[in-house]
Amino acid sequence: MQKEEKQHKIFVIGFFLIVIVVLWFLVKPFVSGWQSRQKNSAERKANEEILKAPSIMPDDLFKKIEGKSEIFLVDISNPEDFSRGHIAESVNTPAEMLNRDFLNNLGATETADVFIINQGNNLEELAIAVNEAISAGFSNAKYLRGGISGWREKGYPLVSSGGSENDRAKVKKITFDEIKKEAETNPDLLQFLDVREQGAFSKEHIIGSINIPISELESKRGEVPILKKIIVYGDNENESFQAAVILFDLNFFNAYQMSGSIEEWKASGGNTESRI
């Protein structure tokens, strides 16, 4: 009896498996067709976005930058890629945050030249971002053709934030003793640059320092003296290293990273002052 029940169960299970297989082969063409239609539809939409979105070539964008045109550069790369290399004065933001309010906060008017950038490996993402910016009223929005990869291939400059091993070769360090020695012989040739936020600078800084927060170094590079030896310091050596890399990429080859923080400077007998 038990043997018959077991055989019956096996038969039923086998029957259902056969039915499922048969049904799958009957339904499969319809499923594949639906998936194919969905894929084709998505590809058509992507192509429409790309064809509709205006672009600018690297050479033309470089000319605008060199000509000091008023432009707004928005890089939608992920923060790690942005840190490894971006066009000077670019603003980094996720694509989904790039909307009318964001561009207005940057100071862009509806007729401003807005250039949207990524690494060059996702053209659909760029095209969608540009078309959405245009739909939001920014009629001169364009994407950089080839992205950062194409820009780099052209040999145009990029600014790093200390995100690669190659950046270490860009930074020259200077010790407290070396600073004090040079201050005794050529005090007028030294310029301390404090890259901390303004509140920390006002509370206490090395005497004679100027303050440009690291987040503003690119946009305020015109305030950095080009004929002096720049001694960069911050809250810690990681911050001053990043700032020194940025300055190097901005062609300030006279910038030096101070070995140590402001607290270590004080502990070595260095003088500070306050603006509070």
Provide the pLDDT for residue 215: 93
In percent, the amount of the chain with pLDDT more than 70 equals 82
Same domain, 175 and 89: no
Question: Whole-angstrom Cα distance, residue 77 to residue 122?
Answer: 10
**Least-confidence region, from 94-98, 165-169, 260-264, 266-270:** 165-169
CATH number, domain with residue 92: 3.40.250.10
Residue 160 lies in a domain: no
Please, which pLDDT band fits residue 162 given cuts at 50, 70 and 90? confident
Same domain, 251 and 182: yes
Average pLDDT of 60-79? Answer: 94
As a whole number of angstroms, the longest Cα–Cα distance in the chain is 109
Same domain, 192 and 148: no
Residue 161 lies in a domain: no
Residue 62 lies in a domain: yes
Question: Whole-angstrom Cα distance, residue 96 to residue 93?
Answer: 8
**Least-confidence region, from 38-47, 86-95, 201-210, 254-263:** 38-47
DSSP letter for 53, please. Answer: S
Average pLDDT of 59-68? Answer: 94
Residue 159 lies in a domain: no
pLDDT digits (tens, 9 = 90+) for 103-145: 999 999 999 999 999 999 888 899 999 999 999 999 999 999 9
More confident: 13 or 258? 258
Provide the pLDDT for residue 46: 45
**Lookup: tokens for 184:** 């005794």
Residue 212 lies in a domain: yes
Provide the pLDDT for residue 7: 59
User: Which residue type is seen at 62?
Assistant: F
Question: Whole-angstrom Cα distance, residue 213 to residue 223?
Answer: 12
Name every residue whose Cβ is closer than 8 Å to that of residue 106 and which is 6 or more positions away in sequence.
72, 74, 91
Does the pTM exceed 0.85? Answer: no
Residue 162 lies in a domain: no
pLDDT digits (tens, 9 = 90+) for 168-188: 999 999 999 999 999 898 889
Same domain, 67 and 89: yes
Same domain, 97 and 145: yes
Same domain, 27 and 103: no
- Last residue of one domain, picked from the residues 107, 123, 153: 153
Structural contact between residues 141 and 133, judged by C-beta atoms closer than 8 angstroms: yes
> How many domains are contained in the chain?
3
Provide the pLDDT for residue 15: 63
- Last residue of one domain, picked from the residues 52, 70, 89: 52
The two beta strands, 205-206 and 272-273, are: antiparallel
Average pLDDT of 246-260? Answer: 95
Same domain, 177 and 266: yes
Same domain, 31 and 66: no
* Residue 96: domain span: 55-153
Please, which pLDDT band fits residue 11 given cuts at 50, 70 and 90? low
Same domain, 81 and 127: yes
Same domain, 266 and 243: yes
Structural contact between residues 85 and 150, judged by C-beta atoms closer than 8 angstroms: no
Average pLDDT across the chain, whole number: 87
Average pLDDT of 228-247? Answer: 95
Same domain, 208 and 258: yes
Average pLDDT of 47-53? Answer: 66
Instruction: Classify burial at 218, counting beta carbons within 10 Å of its beta carbon; exposed 0-12, middle 13-18, buried 19 or more.
Output: buried
Q: Is the pLDDT of residue 32 over 60?
A: no
Residue 166 lies in a domain: no
- Last residue of one domain, picked from the residues 99, 121, 153: 153
Same domain, 48 and 59: no
Residue 163 lies in a domain: no
